[in-house]
Amino acid sequence: MTIARQDYAFPFRIDPASQQTAQAGYAAHVDQMVRQLLLTTPGERADLPQFGCGLRSLVFAPTNDALLATVKLRIIQGLNQWLAGVVSMVDVVLGADTSGSVPEPGTFQVTVTYTLVETQVDQTVTVTIG
């Protein structure tokens, strides 16, 4: 019999039904960790000052191939450092199109494909930074 793995949910909160710390399943927990890494700026967390990719600091950088390479490099390095190299693919689109119309300047969309270690299933997370 296999017991389903549970981890703390993010953001940290109390589950109103059980009055205990909210839990998330394994796949949801890894998704939450990837999102935390992408959206955190180094220095933002007092307990882990190196944690994060610092992507928001690049939003107003000149849009070119160097920016794409920098964003991808930061993401891959961060995932390899903090989440044991589970990343399969990183895709970055500058001027992320979030509404189906014209892309917004000063934004980019990051799509990370990774493999869950426990189940060997590929998952995808897409985050818009801007």
Q: How confident is the chain (130 residues) per 10-residue block, as mean pLDDT?
A: 69 85 85 90 92 88 84 90 79 67 70 85 88
In angstroms, rounded to a whole number, what is the distance separating the alpha carbons of residues 90 and 30? 16
In angstroms, rounded to a whole number, what is the distance separating the alpha carbons of residues 127 and 50? 21
Q: Which two tokens stand for residue 65?
A: 């191939």
Question: How far is C-alpha 67 from the geometric centre of its chain's CA atoms?
Answer: 18
SS3 80: helix
The answer to whether 108 and 98 are in contact (CB under 8 A) is: no
pLDDT of residue 105: 67
Question: Domain 6-129 carries which CATH code?
Answer: 3.10.450.40
Report pTM.
0.79
Q: Parse the chain into domains and list their residue ranges.
A: 6-129
pLDDT of residue 2: 54
Q: Encode burial over 59-76: b for 16+ CB neighbours within 10 A, e otherwise.
A: eeeeeeeebeeebeebbb
What are the phi and psi torsion angles at 84 (to 5°)?
55, 35
